[in-house]
Amino acid sequence: MLHRMVLATLAIALTCWLASSSAGAASFDVAIFHTERDALAEAFKFWAAEIDKRTQGRVQFKPSYSGALTSAVETLGAVRNGVVPVGLTAASFGSGAMPALGYLEAIGGLPNDADQMRKALDGVQRPLADLLQKYGVELMFTQPTFELVVDCALSVPNLVLSLKLHEVAPKLTALRQAVNLSILVMNRRTWRSISAQDQTTIGAVSTEARQRSITNMRAVAAKGLADLKGLGSDIYALNDAELKAMKEKMKPVFDKIAEGSGEAGKPFAEQLKPYW
């Protein structure tokens, strides 16, 4: 009888140990709307690899590219509802539910200069994280795109190239503007399943990923414009006077965003208004 009790106790102890061990290593699927080869993928790859390394494999993120898990439009809701644990979305896909995101979506809302972008994103991190938490997701990191161009469609140089828009729209206008911030988010219940130590690590890596993405995407935009010119695109860039005039035309848009976003939008406007 005693022998059986000892064996049962050992079995329970072993089961608990195995459960705690498996709980210490977690792997999360990530829904990503762009392709693996897109320039936007660099920041995520750095982020996931560094977290894997710094947590010694306790936390891993496995990407599914090209909208394989959910569409870009549905990613934010899918993460909030736990359909997918982690996903990459954009401000434009969340501004309907969270109007303050309109500041991060609209043309001219963010600066086109890398140093100014760094300062602007540092300034909006806390209000953005708070806004997303209230919605039901945790902010991981943000990533900008630079050098908006327009002809048959609004786009950025790397996407013009990958979608071959330059073949049907050889005349492009460079608006000298950033647009539509990308945002990586995690389900809040999933986030709480990660240890405090590893959450701190993820936070540190997320800051580094954001800073790297600014430098990388600024360089990608410059190279994209150069590549488009090399392929024969006729690109006209707004001069300073034209850029100033366009910014003036955009100011009523920010007034409308302020009306719709209320108190939640005020911290964003405070940080970003110097660049409008």
125-135 confidence digits (pLDDT tens): 999 999 999 99
Confidence class for position 144, pLDDT limits 50, 70, 90 = very high
pLDDT score of 166 = 87
| SS3 state of residue 89 | strand
* Residue 150: band (very low, low, confident or very high) from pLDDT cuts 50, 70, 90: confident
Tens-digit pLDDT profile for residues 1-19: 444 433 333 333 333 333 3
Structure tokens at 30: 């990530």
Tokens for 211? Answer: 């800073």
At residue 55, the pLDDT reads 98
Tell me the pLDDT tens digit for each residue of 203-258: 999 999 999 999 999 999 999 999 999 999 999 999 999 999 999 999 999 999 99
How far is Cα 129 from Cα 148, in angstroms, rounded to an integer? 26
Instruction: Spell out the CATH class of 26-270.
Output: alpha beta
Specify the pLDDT at position 8: 33
Which of 259, 249, 105, 258 shows the shortest CA–CA distance to 269?
258
Q: Report the mean per-residue pLDDT for the chain.
A: 90
- When pLDDT is averaged across residues 155-169 and rounded to a whole number, the result is 85
**pLDDT beyond 70 at 270:** yes
For the four alpha carbons of 236, 150, 257 and 136, in that order, the dihedral sign comes to negative
Q: Which residue has the tokens 């430098």?
A: 215
CB distance 79 to 32 below 8 Å: no
Place of tokens 């911290």: 267
> pLDDT confidence of 165, banded at 50, 70, 90?
confident
pLDDT, one tens digit per residue, over 37-78 is 888 999 999 999 999 999 999 999 999 999 999 999 999 999
248-262 pLDDT, tens digit per residue, is: 999 999 999 999 999
Task: Specify the pTM.
Answer: 0.86
At residue 152, the pLDDT reads: 64
What local confidence, expressed as pLDDT, does residue 138 receive?
Answer: 98
What three-state secondary structure class fits 29?
A: strand
